[in-house]
Chains A and B, each alone.
Chain A
């Protein structure tokens, strides 16, 4: 009688579908996955430790390199935590510019999600289209701060430069383009039958499980929770804005994809409101060059593209943080990988991985 045994397959760290340097040890029974164990640390750069030897202003560029496709959101999280610690009031115009930049970056990050997901499912066309539209947003960042990805535009106390008319005008042009762009995506992939069959009903995370894994961001909203820090904390000017939180039903791969498409619409809505109500005034508060926050600690969380991004900063009264801890959403969302892959076939592991949308810079920190 023939006997079979389980087979352990190493995916990564060099694999086209692991979005960086993640290693996944997949345990296989034939083609069915019995377990998937992520092995992390291939990009561990010790950012939390490095921050202890930098001044507060020098720490901000490191946050760009945490989650490098949504760097503006990371800048915002750290700067708001320091502002909370030092008691700095940010001018209103700066808050509007910050919100515009963060939401633009959210759209750009979802472009990378769409591009890599379609690429992993075997359609390189999707990547070409998504990156074409992402370039439009990177052009806007190029106008406002001169960088494409690692912007370092949001600083402690405001933003480093005022938003020019050219930026505001081109942003409006982009917002007008969003419905046409989404329509094209719908015709390209959302309506594609193979795409739907690969996504619907695979890697389901139930409502309870999503909470149990401590997930956040689009991943928990796809499972049915309307958990969005922008609505709960109403930080910045989000309390004044009118937007909805898209919520999924089943928590499968398909929901996680659709949620992100709907979030692009909501982000566009937020940007339009900010453009309409943009006040005049200063764009930077008066912050001392040698910033010495009082002794104490502060925690601030923002809704990053991937979920709840929190910065916990302990100050000992000097110009350098005593300790910084970063709650990284990708790292916590990645815990669900094993649960998502169990019972699926090997080809679905790639889809599951793409819809969690982790970034290794943030996972390993």
Chain B
């Protein structure tokens, strides 16, 4: 029996029948609240994306929150150093589920120009799961908007992205195994 058959004829043009899951995905994908956390150069371009010309508000993503408890997207914008890693992991853990991460800039993909430095983390995915990688040094605001639209697609259609479903249903223990805040040369 089709669900549509249960709907009275006078409501057929006014009611959309969907699953709760699809509705939640639609809601999550269209109103991402990013955490306003900037580390370095990329954060200026992130501010540009939110400011007048590029106007992230057109897509519904303009509510930059200063508090991790109110946000669901962590844009790691800028070079991540080993000293900054524990505060960043704490920020990530304080965010409520479901939460997403964009690794913005070359530094967060593989160290960028500072790859051979003694103090720089060569790749954000060493310390937390990443949803979208955004290359550029720094990426232009258009590129950030594109990354957020890719994230939207990923939230709405997780089956199109490899490993996304597992990542979203990842248990707490698995997540903790992925997070290894150990600086080089420092054994705890």
Contact = CB atoms under 8 A, between A and B. Distances in A.
Interface of A: 13-16, 20-21, 41-47, 49-50, 53, 61-62, 65, 68-69, 112, 115, 127-129, 131-132, 134-135, 138, 148-150, 360-361
Given A45-B79, A132-B53, A14 B40 contact: no
Interface in B57-79: 66, 68, 78-79
B117 A43 contact: no
A233 B48 CA distance: 35
A21 B114 contact: no
A112 B44 contact: yes
Nearest to A50: B117
B41 A361 contact: yes
Interface of B: 36-41, 43-45, 47-48, 51-53, 66, 68, 78-79, 81, 83-84, 87, 91, 113-114, 116-120, 137-138, 140
- Nearest first, the 5 closest Cβ-Cβ pairs linking A and B are A131-B51, A68-B41, A132-B52, A16-B66, A46-B117
A302 B117 CA distance: 27
A214 B68 CA distance: 38
A13 B113 contact: no
B47 to A, nearest CB: 7
A360 B91 CA distance: 19
Contacts of B91: 14
A45 B84 contact: no
Contact of A49 (B45, B48, B83, B118): B118
B116 A53 contact: yes
A42 B16 CA distance: 50
Q: Which of B40, B48, B81 has the most CB of A within 10 A?
A: B40
A149 B40 contact: no
B47 A131 contact: yes
B contacts with A: majority SS: loop
A44 B51 contact: no
Contact of A45 (B37, B44, B45, B120): B120
A132 B53 CA distance: 6
Contact of A43 (B39, B51, B116, B137): B39
A61 B113 contact: yes
A49 B120 CA distance: 13
9 contacts: A20-B39, A43-B40, A45-B81, A69-B44, A115-B47, A131-B48, A132-B51, A135-B52, A150-B138
A135 B48 CA distance: 8
A49 B119 CA distance: 11
Given A65-B41, A148-B45, A149-B44, A46 B52 contact: no
A65 B113 contact: yes
Nearest to B52: A132
Contact of B84 (A42, A127, A134, A138): A42
Given A131-B48, A149-B138, A361 B40 contact: yes
A49 B117 contact: yes
Given A46-B119, A49-B118, A361-B40, 9 more contacts: A42-B39, A42-B81, A42-B84, A45-B114, A46-B118, A49-B117, A65-B40, A127-B51, A360-B40
Contacts of B118: 46, 49
B84 A50 contact: no
A69 B40 CA distance: 10
Given A14-B87, A44-B83, A68 B117 contact: no
Q: Which of A14, A62, A135 has the most CB of B within 10 A?
A: A14
A16 B38 CA distance: 9
A132 B52 CA distance: 6
Contacts of B119: 44-46
A323 to B, nearest CB: 16
Contacts of A16: 36, 66
Nearest to A61: B113
Nearest to B64: A16
A310 B120 CA distance: 25
Contacts of B47: 115, 127, 131
A20 B38 contact: yes
Given A65-B113, A150-B41, A46 B120 contact: yes
Contacts of A15: 66
Nearest to A119: B47
A324 B125 CA distance: 32
B3 to A, nearest CB: 45
Contacts of B41: 65, 68, 149-150, 361
B74 to A, nearest CB: 11
Given A43-B40, A131-B47, A361-B41, A21 B84 contact: yes
Contacts of A138: 48
